[in-house]
Amino acid sequence: MTMQFGLLLNNGIFEGVDDARALALTLDTADLAEELGYHELWVTEHHFIEYGICPSAITLAGFLLGRTSRIRVGTAITLAPLVHPVALAEQTALNDQLSGGRFDLGLGRGGYKLDYEVFGIPSMRWSAEVEATVDAVIEALSKEESRSTNGYFAYDTVAIRPRPLTRPHPPVYVASTAPGSLEAAARNRLPLQFHFGLPGAEQRLEILEKYHGYADDTGWDGATEHLHSVICFVDDDEAVARERMIEGLAHTWSTGRHPNFNRHEGMEDSDAARTERAAKIVNASPVGSPELVADWLQEFAEATGATNFALYMEADGDPERVLTSVRRFAEQVMPRIAGSAASPIHESTPTSR
């Protein structure tokens, strides 16, 4: 099996890491990843919190596409309800054209009520996403003309420009496990994006079983390359590395928090609870020596069929240590995993009209 490895760039704030340094780490990581042969970069989007300070994943992705020449760049995720789907389709087509077909769009709905309040988005959109946006974006990208009359946004027939380079449309991922989102993903034959908050194989397999059920309903076998985000760090001192990752993750969750939707109901918000949750995730993730990390990824791939990974390393909190881990993974882990050499991951090919 051919393994594809990318990096999840979250732009988080840690002790000694301010806004400028967080964004500089993203640029340094992107440059190094291009040099070392990583396959993808995945950028996140958040508002008003220090967990991640990039407010527009699609903008940062466009910047990184212009800065690089080979590596793919995707959003993990773009907050679909906060942007009109036609605007998303236009921005996707623009990034696709200017990058020569290297852009991937990941769509999710987020969880914080403040985002919706500030941008004037009705809270009912949270329940309707991401399926409402997925259908509209796919139609706008795939068809010469599109229109919508659903209850969340309605518009007359439009033809977006530029038309996308990649046909039938640039790669689109769905980052939601709600039944409607899974159905829309399977119906449109789109892969899923899994968050690193689901570190083990069991929960992901349950979600994939539901996805394949929806695919069966359409007469499709559901065979596609889902994106599996995982916390990962390469360090010979496993205990120290895990402790730093737990502390860093819990720290980023502790500041700038806002009321959220029912996805997190019942979750206690205290220092102890955040540390406990971070420890549960980190201790179930590949953190340690190159041998440990390689073995974990191979076992996970065998259990889930995963071939496409986005590795989240920056929770360590030290930019220099993060860059060292990025380099060590490429030089000491990738060679241990059969079939992990860099290669294109999507069958969609850019074509000009």
Distances in whole angstroms, Cα of residue 291 to Cα of each of 6, 238, 332, 336: 19, 11, 8, 8
Give the pLDDT score at 124.
86
294-329 pLDDT, tens digit per residue, is 999 999 999 999 999 999 999 999 999 999 999 999
Q: Domain tally for the chain?
A: 1
Q: What does the alpha-carbon distance between residue 62 and residue 86 come to, in Å, rounded to a whole number? A: 17
CB 173 within 8 A of CB 123: no
Q: What does the alpha-carbon distance between residue 143 and residue 164 come to, in Å, rounded to a whole number? A: 10
Q: Is the pLDDT of residue 114 over 70?
A: yes
Comparing C-alpha atoms, which of 46, 54, 39 is closest to residue 82? 46
Give the pLDDT score at 30.
98
Q: Is the pLDDT of residue 345 over 50?
A: no
258-283 pLDDT, tens digit per residue, is 888 865 555 567 889 999 999 999 99
Q: What does the alpha-carbon distance between residue 254 and residue 317 come to, in Å, rounded to a whole number? A: 14
Angular region, 187: left φ>0, alpha ψ -120 to 50, beta rest: alpha
Q: Is the pLDDT of residue 349 over 60?
A: no
CB 182 within 8 A of CB 116: no
Where residue 156 falls among pLDDT bands split at 50, 70, 90? Answer: confident
Q: Which residues contact residue 342 at a Cβ distance below 8 angstroms, ignoring those fewer than 6 apart?
A: 37, 38, 39
CB 13 within 8 A of CB 19: yes
Question: Collapsing DSSP states into helix, strand and coil, what is residue 18?
Answer: coil
Where residue 339 falls among pLDDT bands split at 50, 70, 90? Answer: low
Where residue 3 falls among pLDDT bands split at 50, 70, 90? Answer: very high
Angle separating helix axes 271-282 and 238-254, nearest 10 degrees: 140
- The DSSP symbol for 80 reads G
The single residue listed with the structure tokens 């508002």 is 47
CB 143 within 8 A of CB 99: no
Give the pLDDT score at 343.
39
Domain of residue 91, residue span: 4-350
What mean pLDDT is reported for the chain?
92
CB 193 within 8 A of CB 199: no
Give the pLDDT score at 344.
36
Where residue 154 falls among pLDDT bands split at 50, 70, 90? Answer: confident
Q: What does the alpha-carbon distance between residue 96 and residue 106 come to, in Å, rounded to a whole number? A: 14
Strands 193-194 vs 227-231: parallel, antiparallel or unpaired = parallel
Determine if the pTM surpasses 0.85.
yes
Percent of the chain with pLDDT over 90: 82
Comparing C-alpha atoms, which of 229, 234, 186, 230 is closest to residue 208? 186
Give the pLDDT score at 262.
61
Type of residue at 182: L
Q: What does the alpha-carbon distance between residue 131 and residue 51 come to, in Å, rounded to a whole number? A: 26
CATH of the domain at 291: 3.20.20.30
The secondary structure of the chain in percent helix, strand, coil, rounded to multiples of 5, reads 45, 15, 35
Q: Is the pLDDT of residue 142 over 80?
A: yes
165-206 pLDDT, tens digit per residue, is 999 999 999 999 999 999 999 999 999 999 999 988 999 999
Give the pLDDT score at 128.
87
Can you name the residues that pair with 228 across neighbouring β-strands?
194, 309
Q: Is the pLDDT of residue 226 over 90?
A: yes
DSSP secondary structure string for all residues of 257-319:
---B-GGGTT---SHHHHHHHHHHHHTTS-EESHHHHHHHHHHHHHHH---EEEEE-GGG--H
